[in-house]
Amino acid sequence: MEIWDAYDSEFNIIEGMTLVRGEESSIPRGVYHLVCNVLVKHTDGTYLLMQRDPGKAFPNKWEATAGGSALKGETPMEAALRELREETGIIADKLEEIRRFPWDPTHSFYAEYLCVTDWDKKNITLQEGETVDYKWVTAEEILSMSPDEMISDRMRPYISDSLKKEQ
């Protein structure tokens, strides 16, 4: 059983309240669990895309982040670094926070990060049951992918802004 801390809409932990994975439908309105996502950018300018396992929601779609729910007691940074390591094998010392925001439909409070790394691009570890493939692509390639290929558009504005800064 996976246990989560409960957060309010201002990203404060609600003392004395815990949440249980699989029971999201019983989370009260205005209460959230923490989800951390990490966008991985190689020092050569390419981005890591991970393909979801066919048994998961959004089967076989590509996602521009590694991530998942924080466990009870984890800070956002600890959860992001753990998820990055579990889903890609990449070990990072620090991440740059991109943004935080609550998402009411899933009772999730997202903390999103950027990892810039010189990790060996051939040394990506796929997490069984989570991902089945990976590829490194340019910002232009991500921005040209259709919604049918990608699970989320949340990172597109960040990648687009980064591309503009590089030009």
Distance of alpha carbon 82 from alpha carbon 54, whole angstroms: 23
In this predicted structure, what is the pLDDT of residue 139?
93
Residue 78 in contact with residue 94, Cβ under 8 Å?
no
Domain 3-160: which topology? Nucleoside Triphosphate Pyrophosphohydrolase (3.90.79)
Q: How far apart are CA 97 and CA 111, in angstroms?
A: 7
User: pTM here?
Assistant: 0.91
Length of the chain: 167
| Mean predicted confidence (pLDDT) in 1-17 | 94
pLDDT reading at 47 higher than 90: yes
Quickly count: other Cβ atoms within 10 Å of residue 86's Cβ.
Answer: 15
Map tokens 């609600």 to a residue: 14
